Amino acid sequence: MATTVLDSVLFRDAFGTPRMRAIFEDRALIARYVEAEVALARAEGRLGVIPAEAAREIAARCDPAALDLDELRRETEIVGYPILPLVHQLARQCGEAGRYVHWGATTQDIMDTGVVLQLRAALDLVGEELEELRTILAGLARRHRDTPMAGRTHLQQALPVTFGYKAAIWLSMLDRHAERLTQLRPRVLVGEFAGAAGTLASLGTRGLEVQALMMEELGLGVPTATWHVARDGLAEAVNFLGLLTGSLGKIAFDTMLMASTEVAEVYEPFVKGRGASSTMPQKRNPISSELILAASKAVRQHAGLMLDAMVQDFERATGPWHAEWIAIPESFVLSAGALHQAKFMLGGLIVDERRMRGNLDMTSGLIVAEAVMMGLAPHLGRNEAHDVVYAACRTVNERGGRLADVLCAMPEVAARLDRAAVERLTDPGNYLGMAPAMVDRVLAGRGRPDRAADPTG
Task: Give the residue numbers marked as catalytic.
Answer: 154, 277
Distance CA(174)–CA(164), nearest Å, equals 15
Which of 401-422 are b and which e, b meaning 16 or more Cβ less than 10 Å from the residue's Cβ?
ebbbbbbbebebbeebbeeebb
Instruction: Name the 3-class secondary structure at 386.
Output: helix
Q: What is the gyration radius of the CA atoms in the chain, in angstroms?
A: 30
Distance CA(84)–CA(75), nearest Å, equals 8
Contact 123, 181 (CB under 8 A): yes
The 3-state secondary structure of 184-226, one letter per residue: HHHHHCECCCCCCCCCCHHHHHHHHHHHHHHHHHHCCECCCCC
Contact 327, 302 (CB under 8 A): yes
Bridge partners (DSSP) of residue 350 are 267
Answer positive or negative: Cα dihedral of 319, 323, 326, 328: negative
Neighbours of 285 (CB within 10 A): 15
CA torsion 386-388-391-397 (nearest 10°) is -80
Residues 6+ apart with CB under 8 A from 417: 375, 376, 379, 407, 425
Do β-strands 156-162 and 148-153 pair in parallel, antiparallel, or remain unpaired? antiparallel
CA torsion 222-224-229-235 (nearest 10°) is -70
